[in-house]
Amino acid sequence: MSAANQLAALVSNMYATGLLDDQFQQLQLLQDPSAPDFVSEVVTLFCQDGERIIEELAKLLEKPNVDFDRVDAFVHQLKGSSANIGAQKVKNTCIQFREFCQQKSRDGCLKVLETMRINFYELRGKFQTMLQLERQVNGFPPNK
C-alpha cells in the first residue's frame, strides 16, 4: 500500500474510532502552499502541550490536599486545545474530568486521568504515524 493510501486509511480510521471529529478537517483546510507545515506544527504543539498537562495533572493529584481549581484550569486548557484540533475522545474525557473537579472527587479525577492518558497517547501515536506518512507522501525523508 502506498504512503498516500496508508495516510488516508489512518485518518479515516481516526474519524471512525472517534479519535477525531470534523474540527480536524477545518484545521486541514487552513493549510495552504504558504504554510505547508501548518497542520504538522499544530499537531506537534498539541502533543507537547498535552503531555506536559497530563504530567502536571498527575503531580497535582498526588498531593495530599488537591487544588481542584488548578487541576480544573489545566483540564480546561487541554479541553480547549483538544476542541481546536478536533481531538474528540480527549475533549470528551476533559468534560468528564471537569465534572469530577467540580465534585472535588480525587478518585474520580484519578480514574479519568487514566482514561485521558490512554486516549491522549493513542491519538499521539496515530498523529506521529500520520506526520511520518505525510513526510513520505510529500517526498521528505522520515524523521528519525
Distance CA 120, CA 115 (A): 8
How many independent structural domains does the chain possess?
Answer: 1
**51-106: per-residue pLDDT in tens?**
999 999 999 999 999 999 999 999 999 999 999 999 999 999 999 999 999 999 99
Short-list 5, 101, 20, 1, CA closest to 61: 101
Is residue 142 assigned to a domain?
Answer: no
Does residue 105 form part of some domain?
yes
pLDDT reported for residue 97: 98
Contacts of 5 (CB under 8 A, 6+ apart): none
Global confidence as pTM:
0.92
Contact between residue 93 and residue 116 where contact means Cβ atoms under 8 Å apart: yes
Q: Is residue 144 part of a domain?
A: no
The CATH number that applies at residue 10 is: 1.20.120.160
Distance of alpha carbon 3 from alpha carbon 9, whole angstroms: 10
Which set of grid coordinates corresponds to residue 79?
479541553
Helical segments of 37-139, H only: 38-62, 68-85, 88-102, 106-137
Domain that holds residue 8: 3-137
Residue 110 is assigned to a structural domain of this protein:
yes
